[in-house]
Structure 1
Amino acid sequence: MVNASGVFNVDTWDEDPYDQREGAKLARVRVGKTFQGGLEGTSTTDIITVVSADDAPLAYSGIERFTGTASGRRGSFVLQHTATAGPGGEGELAWRIVTGTGTGELTGIRGEGRIDIAPDGTHSYALEYELG
């Protein structure tokens, strides 16, 4: 297994709320990111978010296509996201590489990881993967 870690910047956040009933707001969001560290490259993510009435994030799920290098190997792959948050903001943001989506030198990649958001807003990631 290879461990890739680093940070990413959220370059774009295009939100389209589609259900704002009492209790929670649902929105479709397209996110553009730039990665540094074990992953070097860019991605586009489409997520569905659930936000409480007081704008606290509660959950999201989505699909992300990463293009660039993973530990120096060039290609692309798709990640499946799941995330939940509790009342205090603590939560879990997990990734899983979708089997069969690797291209180029990343063909056969599989693995999983997590995203962490620091109090200052810095986004970091850890991805454990292997090539098969």
Structure 2
Amino acid sequence: MKIIGTFTTRDFKPAVVTPAANILTGLATAVATMEKHYCGQIEGRSATLFSSAFDHSVVKGAYCALESFEGSLNGKRGKFNFIHSAATDGKNRTNEFFSIVDGSGTDELRSISGCGGISIDPDGTHHIWFEADGLS
């Protein structure tokens, strides 16, 4: 079942992380936290752990994110985790990955599994969708 929504981000906070081995590459690496708020068939919020290797001046790099969601999908309430990543060459999202973490669901979403995706309009509107199973 495809479930569609949009989201906005709040409280993007860079985090200080000291790696075991400090290896400097051509792209700055960073870790941050943020909160997202969802509307549409997806209602709720998520706490996000966000890591990236990115150059803001040329809008090039990649990210990985782990999210803990609470709210509802098509009116079914609960909590679950999902993970996603993508790269960008400054124009397009590439090498995208998106997965609902099996076994992470609670309440009416306890059996959720599947995948999904994210897209961003030229005006900055962020869209998200889940191809979710286990919502009967």
**How far is 1:56 from its partner?**
1.8
In structure 1, the partner of 2:13 is 14
- 3-state SS, counterpart of residue 108 of structure 1: coil
Provide runs of 4+ in structure 1 moved above 6 Å: none
- 1:91 corresponds, among 90, 93, 116, to 93
Deviations 1:56-84 (A, max 9, x none): 24111121000000111010100011111
The alpha-carbon distance between structure 1 residues 53 and 105, as it changes in their structure 2 partners (threshold 3 A), is: closer
Structure 2 residue ranges without an equivalent (≥5): none
Structure 1 residue ranges without an equivalent (≥5): none
- 3-state SS, counterpart of residue 6 of structure 1: strand
The alpha-carbon distance between structure 1 residues 22 and 98, as it changes in their structure 2 partners (threshold 3 A), is: closer
Which has the larger strand fraction?
1
How many residue pairs match? The answer is: 130
Say what the alpha-carbon RMSD is for the aligned residues: 2.0
Q: Judge which range, 20-29 or 57-66, deviates more.
A: 20-29
- 3-state SS, counterpart of residue 81 of structure 1: strand
Cα distance between partner residues in 1 of 2:5 and 2:11: 19
- Residue 32 in structure 1 maps to residue 35 in structure 2: yes
- 3-state SS, counterpart of residue 105 of structure 1: helix
Q: Provide the TM-score with structure 2 as the length reference.
A: 0.86
Q: Provide the TM-score with structure 1 as the length reference.
A: 0.88
Q: Give aligned-pair identity as a percent.
A: 31
- 2:59 corresponds, among 56, 59, 63, to 56
Deviations 1:10-68 (A, max 9, x none): 12211236579451111101010000011100001101111127352411112100000
